[in-house]
Amino acid sequence: MDADKLPSRQKADVLASCRSSYWTLYEEKVMNKKWPIIMFLTMIVSYLVGCDGAIRVKGRVYESVNASSGLKSIAYIDAFDGVPPPHLVPVKGAEILIEPWSPEKRGEESRPELFVIKAKTDEKGYFEVKHTEAPGSYDATLTVSCAGHLPVERIFKHDRLDHNMVVVLVPEPKP
């Protein structure tokens, strides 16, 4: 059948039919194979562009009831596994402060309250905090204080998502 010899209405129908079948063929042969790849690449790019870092810290704060004079409070970060010794008792209400920088970099942020994480321990001395932070590896500072105890400040490397901490506070020396 020669398309030039057809009346214009039939010619238009034949052309529309050809375009329609060409598009259907294109969808079946090309788009069905490319669509999953396009979606996968879009998801990867979205993840890389919008990916934030985070920090999660959980742990316990104890008081050393048999501490001799001259001892200092101490924090174990990602290094203490197991059951604490019997001379440790949980501290309720200890204030936890985690800063995503080392002490010498304090004051460099224009609004540090947006980045500082604060928490208090419960009756079992437990605390847990989660916060969105800059991605990457950097020094962070843990500060723990509680009335009647010597405070402790410890710099640690934030190089993973989760950190476990055990803090042992020593009572303030009596005058």
Per DSSP, the residues of 1-47 read --GGGS-HHHHHHHHHHHHHHHHHHHIIIIIHHHHHHHHHHHHHHHH
Q: Could you report the per-residue pLDDT of 41-79, keeping only the tens digit for each?
A: 777 666 555 556 778 889 999 998 877 777 888 888 887
Distance CA 31, CA 33 (A): 5
Q: Where are the domains of the chain?
A: 3-50, 53-169
Q: Could you report the per-residue pLDDT of 81-114, keeping only the tens digit for each?
A: 667 777 899 999 999 998 888 777 766 766 667 7
- Here the tokens at position 45 are 């790019």
Q: Could you report the per-residue pLDDT of 128-163, keeping only the tens digit for each?
A: 988 877 677 888 889 999 999 999 999 888 888 788
Task: Give the residue with greater pLDDT, 34 vs 29.
Answer: 34
- As a CATH number, domain 53-169 is 2.60.40.10
What is the average pLDDT across 119-133? 90
135: amino acid identity, one letter = P
At 122, the pLDDT band (50, 70, 90 cuts) reads very high
